[in-house]
């Protein structure tokens, strides 16, 4: 029987983050989703405020990464919280989100997150659906390990991922895969690169040894 684990979070401060990590690490290998008000932003575009604590933001991103979770993206409103200071310093932020691990996406590849309108209180409810019209493509994307050794790989991958930050997770991964496929075609085939390196090694070995 498949075991699905949900962790619903409400205003989790950094000091209480151990409860989340313990939950995740106690259930390794199982589908896990964490959703709710996480009380932190993950990107600068998640807030309209000019006062951003980048150290806290980076610490939160590192923590999410250590837990093996990632943001599933969203459809709908860009911000899920407001301080409601309409006459002074009005701020909107995306504090509510849905995080999941690889196992969750393997079981529910069509998961969609919807940010609903803020009607009562200062937070917007978020709705998670595990079914949508999107279907996994027949041809699976294959990641090549040698890509990471290319000087421009990190920038290409990061820019493609950030460019779709407000789109659903499946749309973000599809865009990233397409970008990497187009980028890869501009590179020399790996076999050709290996042949060049092999020729260089042979030329070095043919040189006389200096005593």
CA distance 69 to 91: 27
* Angle, helices 54-66/17-25, rounded to nearest 10 degrees: 20
Any idea what the CATH number is for the domain that residue 8 is in?
Answer: 3.60.10.10
Per-residue model confidence (pLDDT) at position 211 = 57
DSSP annotation of 75? E
Which among 31, 48, 41, 140 has a CA at the least distance from the CA of 96?
41
Domain stop point among 87, 114, 133? 133
| pLDDT, tens digit (0-9, with 9 covering 90-100), for 85-128 | 888 889 999 999 999 999 998 888 888 899 988 888 899 999 88
Which among 45, 48, 53 has a CA at the least distance from the CA of 74?
45
Burial class (CB in 10 A: 0-12, 13-18, 19+), 24: buried
Co-location of 38 and 112 in the same domain: yes
Domain stop point among 72, 98, 133? 133
Number of domains in the chain: 2
| Rounded CA Rg of the chain | 22
Domain interval for residue 210? 137-211
| pLDDT, tens digit (0-9, with 9 covering 90-100), for 58-72 | 999 998 898 889 899
Co-location of 144 and 127 in the same domain: no
Co-location of 128 and 144 in the same domain: no
Co-location of 126 and 168 in the same domain: no
β partners of residue 75: 114
Co-location of 85 and 107 in the same domain: yes
């Amino acid at each position: 029987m498949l075991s699905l684990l949900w962790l619903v979070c409400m205003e989790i401060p950094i000091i209480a983050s151990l409860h989340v990590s313990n939950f995740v690490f106690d259930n390794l290998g199982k589908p896990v989703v964490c959703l709710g008000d996480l009380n932190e932003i993950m990107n600068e575009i998640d807030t309209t405020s000019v006062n951003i604590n980048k150290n806290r933001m980076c610490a939160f991103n590192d923590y999410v990464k250590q837990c093996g979770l990632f943001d599933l993206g969203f459809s709908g409103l860009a911000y899920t919280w407001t301080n409601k200071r309409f006459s002074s310093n009005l701020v909107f932020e995306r504090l509510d989100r849905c995080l999941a691990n690889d196992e969750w996406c393997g079981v529910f590849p069509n998961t969609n997150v919807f940010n609903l309108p803020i009607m009562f209180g200062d937070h917007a409810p978020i709705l998670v659906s595990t079914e949508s019209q999107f279907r996994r493509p027949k041809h699976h994307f294959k990641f090549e390990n040698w890509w990471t050794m290319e000087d421009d790989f990190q920038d290409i991958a990061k820019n493609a991922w950030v460019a779709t930050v407000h789109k659903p997770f499946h749309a973000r991964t599809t865009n990233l895969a397409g970008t990497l496929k187009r980028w890869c075609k501009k590179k020399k085939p790996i076999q050709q690169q290996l042949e060049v390196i092999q020729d260089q090694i042979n030329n070095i070995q043919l040189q006389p040894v200096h005593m």
